[in-house]
Amino acid sequence: MNRRRLLPTLLVLALGAFLPARSQPAPVPVAIAAAGDLRGALEEVRTAFEARNPGVRLQLSFGASGSLTAQLLQGAPFDLFLSADLGFPEQLEKAGLAEPPFPYATGSLVLWVRNDLGLDPAQGLATLMAPSVKKIATANPQTAPYGRAGEAALRGAGLYDGVKARLVFADNIAQAAQFLQAGTAEAGLISRSQAENPALRQSGRTWTVPAGTYPPLRQGGTILKRTTCPGQAQAFRAFLLSAEGQAILARHGFGRP
């Protein structure tokens, strides 16, 4: 190479060593408040979504839909809300805090019974009357849609008064499943998505509670008007409703909206 051409090239390289590296913009955080039954599904959804949207980071917080709604009404800083009941996002819309809700899945209630009890949950909710069932885990019906569904199913079967003294109420349906996994209760009324947990599938048996025996679990979400990242929130909503997002939800026990 000609020496006259070489010197400018070396000078540029030398100067480049002292210039600060061009930093990549920080990912945009999208804070999502989600019903407890979504924990496993949303963790998989997050992985898939962020792989296709590297400039976005999803921040997931789980709880009972009713409790999360109360927090959002008080100004909790979330961008998007995914509820186990479409009615809660509708409350936020009526309060002028959220966009029109969108249904994203249908939930289902199951009876879970520990294997070592020797009981067959296919006998239905009457299985809970067995003396070996000392505690029954379920979500709080005051704040969690699955808790209301479980209470309605028990009342419809004429069993509520017979088992109410043995009910152990969790803050949300995910915590009810944790009670079962920890051995705090021998049986429980939980979501199908929670029952798909490998530990629960190995240690217990399930029976699907007939859908007509409790209020429909039409799960819905909404984007909060206070969001500072509407474009990213809309992109997540679109992914959740896409064929790929729906396939992930289906793998975790959810039906189509």
pLDDT digits (tens, 9 = 90+) for 102-152: 999 999 999 999 999 999 999 999 999 999 999 999 999 999 999 999 999
Compute the average pLDDT of residues 39-55: 96
Give the pLDDT confidence of 220-251 residue by residue, as tens digits. 999 999 999 999 999 999 999 999 999 999 99
Give the pLDDT confidence of 74-107 residue by residue, as tens digits. 999 999 999 999 999 999 999 999 999 999 999 9
Query: Of 158, 147, 172, 81, nearest to 125 (Cα)?
Result: 158
Query: Of 34, 43, 11, nearest to 222 (Cα)?
Result: 34
Is residue 30 within 8 Å of residue 80, measured between CB atoms? Answer: yes
**Residue 22: predicted pLDDT:** 60
CATH superfamily of 109-208: Periplasmic binding protein-like II (3.40.190.10)
- Is pLDDT of 7 > 50? no
DSSP state, 227? -
- Is pLDDT of 17 > 60? no
| Torsional sign, CA 81, 108, 192, 177 | positive
Is residue 102 within 8 Å of residue 233, measured between CB atoms? Answer: no
Domain ranges of the chain: 28-106+216-251, 109-208
pTM tops 0.75, yes or no: yes
For 61, 189, 254, the CA distances from 77, given in Å and listed in that order, are: 11, 31, 27
Let me know if the fold of 28-106+216-251 is the same as that of 109-208: yes
CATH architecture of residue range(s) 28-106+216-251? 3-Layer(aba) Sandwich (3.40)
**Residue 25: predicted pLDDT:** 78
